[in-house]
Structure 1
Amino acid sequence: MKKRPVELVVLSDVHLGTYGCHAKELVKYLKSIIPKEVVLNGDIIDIWQFSKRYWPKSHMKVVKIIMQWVAEGIPVHYVAGNHDEMLRKFLGFKLGSFSIVNKVVLEINGSKAWMFHGDVFDVTMQHSKWIARLGATGYDMLILLNSAINYCSKKMGKGPVSMSKKIKSSVKSAIKFINDFEQIAADIAIENGYDYVVCGHIHQPEMREIATSKGSVMYLNSRDWIENLTSLEYNNGAWRLYHYMEDVMIINDDENIMEPMEIPDKNQLFQNLVREFQFLTSAGNE
């Protein structure tokens, strides 16, 4: 199958390491494209669920493909989310073309795209609008406030706050949360002069213009690889939502991956990833 070039790919909410992750399908998708730049917009590896010790070969295959891109010099920005928040300890880490960040701003054909996961709104939704008015410092304040609340919650033995559990209580509350989430993301983006705001987290794909009295912004959400199997692609001056289930050629392409494969603990997983990257890097330099 011929691979197609894509200028920018945005993936989020893959949740590798969980039973719900459609890693085999994601492998097919990743093998069908040649990206120039990649943004992993949070919750790629589900560290929350690692106690289950579930790590099939298809999940490792996803990681290997991404690491191969890094070894080839393709920029890969890993934006930390709530399920992989442990990576926030390594913010600013860079290895070749790979970096770990809280948010990323990319220049795309003269326009500015602001990308972040979105979990910072979970415990601060009602206060986010006035924080947005603070401009460039508003988002950083949200991160600090969200982290402080989650820290206190953990100390009280309640674990991190997860808005996804709350909004599942009713359709009405879910719709309200999604609308509030999108509006607040747009408010902050407009305050900071961004042309695009790209999120994940709420597992709700979207591409729409949001306008306020202060301006407008294109809001985009890449959704997930649990239920929807979608990504965002930017090519030839336009965004599009990619839907795996509509890609007949890829669906019919056989991908033989043996299952399952278990990894004893987190440390061994990370050691395996580092070794794999070192191997790919050395092979690429030969």
Structure 2
Amino acid sequence: MTSAELAKPGRKQRVRTLWISDVHLGTRDCQAEHLAAFLKRYQTDRVYLVGDIIDGWRLRSGVYWPQAHTNVIRRLLTMSKRGTEVIYVTGNHDEFLRRYSSLMLGNIQLVDEAEHRTADGRRLLVVHGDQFDVITRYHRWLAFLGDSAYELTLTLNRWLNHWRQRYGYGYWSLSAYLKHRVKTAVNFISDFEQAIAHECVRRGFDGVVCGHIHHAEIRRVGEVEYLNCGDWVESCTALIEHLDGSIELYRLAEAQARTKLPAELEVA
């Protein structure tokens, strides 16, 4: 039984670890309401914020910060106050925080990378992943250009789904479709996975938890267990470590489908 099935409204599910990344607070496409609701369902020992939680790039050009974004911060602070360890791993969109790496504020720690030991003994590198993105690392102007193009795609996606909803169609992500269909995007994801897996082998890790490319996945890449948190802009995904050390990929769309299914069967 998955966590989505176990987590009942008003009852927190006990888990060992949560990983979330690429929330992009400060942008219009951030799914903050869904994230706050997700965090509220769990009682956990540790939360890893795997980079790009606050979008410093977007905030430079203008402040967009609705109450829902504040609610996410409040939820994390409440969890910290109640004993949850919060490890904030910096990313490229919140790189302004890297000057404060190794800062500790109570149960909140700011780092550039972390090591996580699962309940069953696996040693995982936790890193945002921009260090393994050639465009971000060596061609910064192209990264900003790509970010602008991505924002345009998300804007088109908002309008597309507005009209799809009006005509009775379900949600569909244009940006996710392009990632899976455009050859250069598919090759980029593969190159990223191979690069980060190679680093894990070199440093003796059993696996890696990362974000950055907004493509949630759990799979083996050679000798390495590759786990990507995904994002809270398009897909609304996270990684959950259960008490036995097993790790689940949570997808909001799948969780919603499972909770909706019993009601539909009852009506039928």
CA contact (8 A) 1:123 1:163 kept: no
In structure 2, what is the equivalent of residue 110 of structure 1? Answer: 121
State the identity %. Answer: 38
Moved more, 167-176 or 218-227: 167-176
Shift of 1:6: 1.4
Q: Report the secondary structure of 2:114's partner residue.
A: strand
**C-alpha distance in structure 1 between counterparts of 2:195 and 2:256, whole Å:** 36
Residue 228 of structure 2: aligned partner: 221
The superposition leaves residues 74-123 of structure 1 with CA deviations (integer Å, 9 ceiling, x where unpaired) of 11110100110100010110011111111000121321010100111223
Which of 232, 246, 254 is 2:239 aligned to?
A: 232
Match in the other structure for 1:207: 218
Shift of 1:183: 0.8
Cα offset for 1:164? 5.7
What pairs with 1:78-157 in structure 2 (closer than 5 Å)?
78-108=88-118, 109-123=120-134, 146=137, 149=138
Cα deviations by residue, 1:28-57 (Å, 9 ceiling, x for unpaired): 111111111010000001111113211111
Q: Which residue of 2 aligns with 1:257?
A: none
Q: What CA distance in whole angstroms lies between the structure 1 residues aligned with 2:210 and 2:80? A: 22
What is the DSSP-based 3-state SS (H/G/I as helix, E as strand, rest coil) of the residue aligned with 1:37?
A: strand
In 1: Cα distance, 2:235 partner to 2:126 partner: 20
1:156-235 alignment runs, 5 A limit: 158=141, 171-211=182-222, 216-235=223-242
User: Structure 2 length normalisation: TM-score?
Assistant: 0.75
Segment of structure 1 superposing worse, 179-188 or 104-113: 104-113
Query: In the TM superposition, what whole-angstrom CA distance separates every residue of 1:205-255 from its partner, at most 9, and x where no partner exists?
Result: 1111122xxxx1100101001110000011122111001122239988xxx
Shift of 1:73: 2.6
5+ unaligned residues in a row in structure 2: which ranges? Answer: 1-8, 151-177, 261-268
1:181 to 1:165, Cα distance in 2 relative to 1, 3 A: farther
Task: Return structure 1 stretches of 4+ with deviation > 6 angstroms.
Answer: 165-170, 249-252
Structure 1: which 5+ residue stretches go unaligned? 126-145, 253-286
TM-score when scaled to structure 1? 0.71
Q: Structure 2 CA distance, aligned partners of 1:222 and 1:174? A: 18
Counterpart residue identity of residue 207, structure 2: Y
**SS class of match (1:58):** helix
Greater alpha carbon shift after TM alignment, 116-125 vs 234-243: 116-125
